[in-house]
Amino acid sequence: MIRSAIAGIGSYVPPKVVTNDDLAQMMTTSDEWIQTRTGIRERRYADEGIKCSDLALEACRRALDDAQMTPADIDFLILATLSPDHHFPGTACYLQPKLGTGPIGCLDVRNQCTGFLYSLTVADALIRAGIYRNILIVGSEVHSSALDFSDRGRDVTVLFGDGAAAVVLSPSPSSDRGVLYTELHADGRFARALCMDIWDISKKPYLSEKTAASADIWPQMDGKTVFKHAVTRLCEVIQHTLDVNGLKGDDIKYVIPHQANMRINQMVAQRLGFPEEKFLHNMQRYGNTTAASIPLLLDETYRNGMLQAGDMLLLAAFGSGFTWGTAVVRW
Ligand code: ACO
């Protein structure tokens, strides 16, 4: 049986660091408020003019180097984002010529914080079906240009940061290594609990001076509802993933959770009886980078020398949509 495995991984964050104290200069907030409620200390912001596809390009180059491949080796490109370069066409189409792959298929995935897991599931299925060999998956976000820096938007703005991370997925050299399992869910009844309403295609024209001047142009979030559902759904999906795969918590070397909020992840670890050190974090330094967050953390973990061949990893995400899911990967 063909299995897919991560053949290379890389990430890129823009150099500009924005601390909680920096944000407190722009809106009524404080380092203490942000750290206590989220665990976030700082995040990165891309400079004006940098797009989602630009950050993605750097991450893809690093993943290709790690895989010892060139763009010519890639058969298919998947880009996950909630901050695309433009309304259309898809950002993967903007990335492809920058990368120089030739006319391979390009797919945008719009599943927010779970975007990487949706992309991994699609790529894994394409490789297992024998349709493609080497698929480049990248999660990339430039949030900083679409955040409300007035007090009205402070609950959302302090959470997010810019960044990108990519993996090359290829046929696994060994039948017991690679992507062992994925599970995806969504509950669209909660679509408006975290959304950006500006592109309302039912309005004619969809963008008018009135809508551009309204709060709809900024992300809107019901933070408490997001928090509550994130904890419940992550606990459910992680437990189900362990059960259907006959795994115990002890079999998992690390859980690589989406990096939204330290308190969400700590609560999930506690409820499932996982030692906290098994749940890895880097949101302190990057905030929530949405589709990039899981591969960004995975890349750091790999580069810090924390992964040995055969380690069992459980990836888990919850986000806007609501969408959520898991993947089990044997490194
Ligand atoms: N700085 C200071 N005060 C703030 C800020 C801020 N940045 N943002 C909101 N407040 C104020 C509010 O105005 C409110 O004031 P009021 O009581 O006078 O009305 C008060 O703080 C709310 O405080 P709390 O009730 O303590 O806030 P809460 O504990 O709900 O924390 C938070 C808010 C951090 C947003 C929380 O709800 C949360 O983390 N939710 C999850 C959101 C999330 O992770 N979203 C990411 C995307 S989805 C995902 O990735 C899972």
| pTM of the complete model | 0.96
Assess whether 245 carries a catalytic annotation: no
User: Which pLDDT score, from 0 to 100, does residue 79 have?
Assistant: 98
User: Which pLDDT score, from 0 to 100, does residue 208 have?
Assistant: 79
Residue whose CA lies nearest to ligand 1 atom number 10: 155
pLDDT single digits (tens) 22-40: 999 999 999 999 999 999 9
Kindly state the helix (H) or strand (E) to which residue 245 belongs, with its residue range. Answer: none
Active-site pick, 113, 143, 229, 265: 113
Kindly state the helix (H) or strand (E) to which residue 133 belongs, with its residue range. Answer: none
76 CA to middle of ligand 1, Å?
39
Assess whether 304 carries a catalytic annotation: no
CB of 40 closer than 8 Å to CB of 284 = yes
Task: Name the residue among 305, 316, 318 with its Cα closest to residue 331.
Answer: 305
User: Which pLDDT score, from 0 to 100, does residue 195 have?
Assistant: 93
Is the CB of 91 inside a 6 Å radius of any atom of ligand 1?
A: no
Beta strands in the chain (DSSP E): 4-12, 17-19, 42-44, 76-80, 105-109, 135-141, 163-171, 178-186, 194-195, 220-221, 254-257, 312-319, 323-330
pLDDT tens digits for the chain (331 residues)? 799 999 999 999 999 999 999 999 999 999 999 999 999 999 999 999 999 999 999 999 999 999 999 999 999 999 999 999 999 999 999 999 999 999 999 999 999 999 999 999 999 999 999 999 999 999 999 999 999 999 999 999 999 999 999 999 999 999 899 999 999 999 999 999 999 887 788 888 887 777 777 777 889 999 999 999 999 999 999 999 999 999 999 999 999 999 999 999 999 999 999 998 999 999 999 999 999 999 999 999 999 999 999 999 999 999 999 999 999 999 9
**Ligand 1 pocket: which of 36, 190, 192, 261 to mutate (most atoms <8 Å of CB)?**
261
**Ligand 1 pocket: which of 26, 147, 155 to mutate (most atoms <8 Å of CB)?**
155
Amino acid at 127: I
DSSP β-ladder status, 4-12 and 178-186: unpaired
Is the CB of 226 inside a 6 Å radius of any atom of ligand 1?
A: yes
CA angle 150, 36, 276 (to 5 degrees): 135
Assess whether 113 carries a catalytic annotation: yes
User: Which pLDDT score, from 0 to 100, does residue 204 have?
Assistant: 84
Atom of ligand 1 nearest to the CA of 157: 7
User: Which pLDDT score, from 0 to 100, does residue 202 have?
Assistant: 85
User: Which pLDDT score, from 0 to 100, does residue 325 have?
Assistant: 98
User: Which pLDDT score, from 0 to 100, does residue 45 have?
Assistant: 98
223 CA to middle of ligand 1, Å?
6
